[in-house]
Amino acid sequence: MRQTYSLETLIVVRRRLLCLVGIMPVFFAACSCREAREPTTPSAASQAAPSETVAPQEYTTAPMRVVTLSGAPLSGMIPIATLHPNAFDEPIASGPPTDANGESRIRFPVEQKLALRAWDPNLLYFPNNFFDVLPGGGAVRETLVIRMVESASVEAALFTPDGAPIARENAGMMLFHPVHGPWWPAAADTDDNGKVTFHRVPPGEYVIRIKVASGGVVEIPETYVAPNETTRIGAVHLR
C-alpha cells in the first residue's frame, strides 16, 4: 500500500482582545448673562480639510521549524507567507534561512489571512503542509512545524494525433491540485523521440495538463506523483 502525501491544512486561530473604554461626557455650568456675539468666521487654516493619516501596518511573528517527513531538521529553508499556498503568489513576507536545527522565524502582516510554509530555493524539497493564519492577534507562540517531502519528476512521451513523435519542442506542464486548483507549472524540451521529463516538481495527487509550443494539449486524469522518483506517464497523444 503506497503512502500518499496530501497537503494538510492546519488552522491557527489567534484572538484579538479589544478593550472598550467608556467615555463619560462632562458638562460645565456657565453663566448665561453675557452679551451674545456674532460667531467668528473660522480662519482658512481651520477650514482646511484634515490630512489623511495612514495607519501603520501591524505585524506579528511566528517561530518555525522545518523538518523532513521523518523529523530530521532541514537547514537553508526559507519561511514564507503568501495569500495562497500555490506556486504563483509572490511572498508577502519571508524569514531568514533555517539554521542547523531547522529553526527560523517569520514576521508578517496581521490584517489578512495568509498561508505560512517553507520554501527550498533549490527545489529539492517541497512543503507537505502549510498553516492558515487568520487575521488579527499577537505573536504566534507555538512553533509551526513544516514537514518537507523530496521533489519528484514526471516523464511522458508526446505524440501528435496521427502518432508522430513531437520532437525538439518546448512543452509546458501544469499540475492541478484536487482542492486548490492550478498548483505548479513546469517546462522542458522534448527529445528526438518526443520524450520529455519535468524535474523538481512537488509530489502529490494531480490532474496533469501538458501543452506544446505548436498548440497541442492533453489532460491526464488524476495521477499520483511519487516523491524522490520519476513518475512515468507513458505515451500520450495531444489534440
Which of 78, 179, 177, 170 is closest to 124 using CA atoms?
Answer: 78
Question: Which pTM was predicted?
Answer: 0.74
Q: What is the mean pLDDT of residues 33-49?
A: 37
Burial state string for 43-62 with b = 16 or more CB within 10 A and e = fewer than 16:
eeeeeeeeeeeeeeeeebeb
pLDDT of 1: 31
All structural domains of the chain with their residue ranges: 57-150, 152-237
The grid coordinates listed for 228 are 524522490
Reported as a single tens digit per residue, the pLDDT across 17-28 is 222 222 222 222
pLDDT of residue 24: 24
For the domain made up of 57-150, the CATH class stated in words is mainly beta
Residue 86 CA: distances (Å) to CA of 122, 161, 184, 238: 17, 32, 7, 26
Residue with cell 521533489: 151
CA end-to-end span of the chain, whole Å? Answer: 34
- Per-residue pLDDT of 69-127, as tens digits, reads 999 999 999 999 999 988 888 999 999 999 999 999 999 999 999 999 999 999 999 99
- Say what the pLDDT of residue 56 is: 65
Residue 47 has pLDDT above 50, yes or no: no
Q: What's the confidence (pLDDT) of residue 141?
A: 87
For residue 36, pLDDT beyond 60: no
Task: Give mean pLDDT, residues 227-233.
Answer: 97
Q: Please tell me the predicted confidence (pLDDT) of residue 139.
A: 76
Give pLDDT, residue 185: 96
Do 152-237 and 57-150 have the same topology in CATH? Answer: yes
CB contact at 8 A, 157 and 194: yes
pLDDT above 90 covers what percent of the chain?
70
| CATH architecture type of domain 152-237 | Sandwich (2.60)
